[in-house]
Structure 1
Amino acid sequence: MDEKKRANLSQTAERPLKIAIIGGGRRCRSLLEMIDAERFPWLNAEIVAVVEPNPNAVGVQLAREKGIFTTARVEDLYSIDSLDLVIELAGKEDLLRGFLKRGGTPKVQILGTTISRLFSDLIRLQEEHLFREKQLALIESIAETIFSSIRDRVMIMRPDMKVLDANNALLEWLGMGKDDVVGKYCYQITHRFTEPCYCYGIHCPLMECLETGGTGHSIHEHSERDGSTRYYEISTVPLRNPKGQIEVVLEIIRDITDELERRVEQKTKALKQDLARLIHEDKMIALGKLVASAVHEINNPLSGIHALAKLMRNRMEEDKPLSEDERKQFCYYLQLIDQESARCSNIVGNLLSFSRQQKLEKAYFNVNEIIRKVVLLSKHKMELQDISLKLELEESIPNVFGDPGQIQQCLVNLVFNAMEAMPNGGTLTIKTHYEEHRERVRIDVIDTGVGIPKEIISQIFEPFYSTKSKDKGVGLGLSVVYGIIKEHRGSIYVVSQVGKGSDFIVRLPCQEHSEREEGNLNNGKC
């Protein structure tokens, strides 16, 4: 090879390869864009001409914008100096054959029809690849936008608990930047632990997710930056690779504190309604017992009143004046009738008061007065069962704040329970005492009955639990008593010994203590 040829080759290698395109459609446009984007970094080339009869074709328009020579005639390519390569992209073999018939120039390399199609297919594949890249970029952008805008706290983790990404809601909650979170373990940033949650006895939904292959769930308690405590529902979702292996885990953290409080409030309301219903049912049961006792209590004086009235009427029907002794006797009879009818009226009045449907109305009252009313209603039954009564009531006790009707219902239950524990007679003692150190009024209802075994003493305040036979009751009494006493911020417990009897001890806040507690509740201190 002589020096002149070597020089020509060297010059050709240094300058860009000049390419002409036959066909100015979409593939032409794609090739122009790929060359601009340097998709072929190894190819030192430039497009110098585009042949296309349609002046509105997209490739022709882009070529014009770039200042590339465009023409509708293949013959115009002969006028281009140093043209190195012609590529046919229109799929019009007649144009390429026409160019070849005219001979062209020996320096121009022409890609034949088959090779041109191959090159065209490569461009089409590149177009599809670019389209998919754009689609993927769009999908990634949409996913990133959704991920960042989700209100729940979300993070993406590896199976080894290291955080790969976190959304804005989680970063704001933590008060940290993404660089402070990514790469750390989840338990370090959410709980500020040095070890995984399960080491502290906390259920880990990520571990559940990895063990079961499904979603994991848990509720965690978190201390907020302001010192408050919030509750969060944690859900983990596994994301798998094409082989079915868990690649990453999506963790969603949702604040359920307000929802829990609302549910607790609804449940509390429902429980209070149930308690009110149980109180009413128990009240009817207690009323039945009181009526049964009161019938006997009223029957005796009414029989006496009837007999005295009949005696006096028969005497008055006799047509002769009363003697002085008879007058005195009649006065005595009238006094007995007055006393016994007053006693009957008092018993009936107490029964009516006890049975009346009333709203819960709290007021200050004296416990001793309530006890005396209960004793009056149940005294006759005590006499029939051969039960002696001892009242040791401290007269100087302060008033109690609450609903006197409900406290009377509690005492009726306790007194009747005590009597039922002494079927063969015994002694019922009722005491009241003011415990100054506790600021409570204490009530003791003590019987000398059969007692309560230790193994069941913890169950006696449970609803529907009863040691009695079915015809004696359904076990509501003591559970209702417990509920009422708790509603009054009091306490009740029992001391019992089998064979010796039981002592039910009730403590209720006194007037001064109740006022102070009400004040604390209003001020948000309790």
Structure 2
Amino acid sequence: MEGELRTVIEMSNAGIVILDGDYNIRFANKSTSELTGYQVEEFLGMNFMDIFSAENKKVIKDMLAEHRMGENIRSCSELEILTAQGNRKETEICITTTGDSNGTRKIYAYLRDISERKRSEEKLKITEEKYSLLFERVQQGLFISSREGKFIDCNQAMLDMLGYEDKEEFLSLDIARDVYVNPEDRRIFQDLVERDGFVKEYEVELKRKNGEKVTILLTGNIKRDGEGKIVGYEGINTDITERKNIEHELRKANDFFRNLIDSSVDGIIAADIKGNVVIFNKGTEKLLRYKAGEVIGKLHITGLYPPGVAKDIMRKLRSQEFGGVGRLETTQSTLVDRDGEHIPINISAAIVYEDGKEIATVGIFTDLREKLRMERELQDAQLQLLQSEKMSSLGKLAAGVAHEINNPLGGILIYSNLLIEEMEDSDPKREDLKRIADEATRCKEIVKSLLEFARQTGPKMEPIDINRAINEGLFFLENQAAFLNIEIIKKLDLTLPLIEGNSSQLKQVFMNIMVNAAEAMEGRGALTVTTALQPENNSVLIEFSDTGKGIPPEYISKIFDPFFTTKEVGKGTGLGLSLSYGVIEQHKGKIDVKSEVGGGTCFVIELPMVHKGTVLGAK
């Protein structure tokens, strides 16, 4: 039995020591050696007190003094021991004494290493102290409450927020009855937090001890016990009473000013510093076709401008250049109405300050549509008068051209056709003569088109293949000197349907644009011709894009004007693009130009489809 007992003692992770009445060590297990750093042989014969500091020796002696002979008492304490290496180690020591009838006393000591536990406890203590410090120092009100409606804990900020000095008094309150202005809000909070596990910025009114109302944003989550059952809630309350009061006062001021400005014919809009519209007068209702109730508190100010315009206006308001910081002198801009229409306006604006801080912006808007319409009508009338004079001159020119050119062209056609008839089919010159005859015919068509344009008579319309018209124009131009060093890139959609148009006129438009492109590239570069179907517009898209020097922005608006040209005197009449514009309009289409100086030019033509089911490939 003694051997079995020794085996059990040696297996123990704790140090076990047997002392005599003078504290001399008579037995020590291996765990004692590992704990103290002494070999078992060294330990035997040592005095047990040698492993303790002076102050701890007294503690051990006091413990032993409590043990009387014959009493089997167990005393425990946590003390530091001194290891063989001179290090201090935290241990738990338990001592039991026994004695027999002969007066022999034995002392049994149990030693367990608690260093790791002590370190963990110290870390936990530091963490708790930090948490406690943070809990008390944070400016928002922190709380822990039970599910039944009592506060379990709170910080000082929570007490200050609700006007309580005595924490115990506060913890005794019934939350729903004594803290919530509307007790039902407590139940709503519980439903939300228990459904989702958390609540973020739930706005609610609480009561201070003196009855005053406090508006707070409540963010919280549920607390569960070890079995996962909801036992309470913890959260943070942010007092937004002051902010709500400021918003209320601002709304009152807005109401007062609205009464003053609603009679203004001009539109007046004010927005808070976040961009939320707070004033929208009747003049603006008429201008943008919104009702004030649809906008105030519901639309951001940027939604009333095209993209980027509101940001640019704020930049100008904060700049010295446009009337001084905080002011914008009258300048033209654009608003967007309820239906997405861009409304040209004059705007003058200002930033509203309070204690040096921006709190709002206000703008006055004058509708420019009628003014611009009258200016356009005046310009159109002037242009129409000028155009009438030009058309008169153009008509005389066209009549002279018809007389002077048609007769020689007729001769060319007659004699080229006679020569064709006399030639053998295998004669290689026959194709050249055919080309002469075809081009002479095209010249007659050009003269005819010029006459039709001058007389404003409609051309003969028939189903035509756009790709074929483009290819025929390119076939004539590709061998000209201006195109010899130009790369022609064709991206033609072979599934295009036929359209209703005049092939000769459209071919002349295409050739005119391509010749202009070659001149812009000065005989070297790339010309890309693209055709595509636009089902959403029921139209065919044609693009001519070059790598030329581009068109200056100030010329873009004049590019289709009659007799406008940037070429040297004698090298262009300025009629080409004007005639092209007229042809496309007669075809109920659109023509536009996009260009960047140094970045090339792209002419875009849209022609309506009529024959949706008929498709011809490029030839």
Q: RCO higher in 1 or 2 (8 Å CA, sep ≥ 6)?
A: 1
Answer 1 or 2: which has greater helix percent.
1
| TM bin (shorter chain) | 0.3 to 0.5
* TM-score (ref. length: structure 1): 0.35
* TM-score (ref. length: structure 2): 0.30
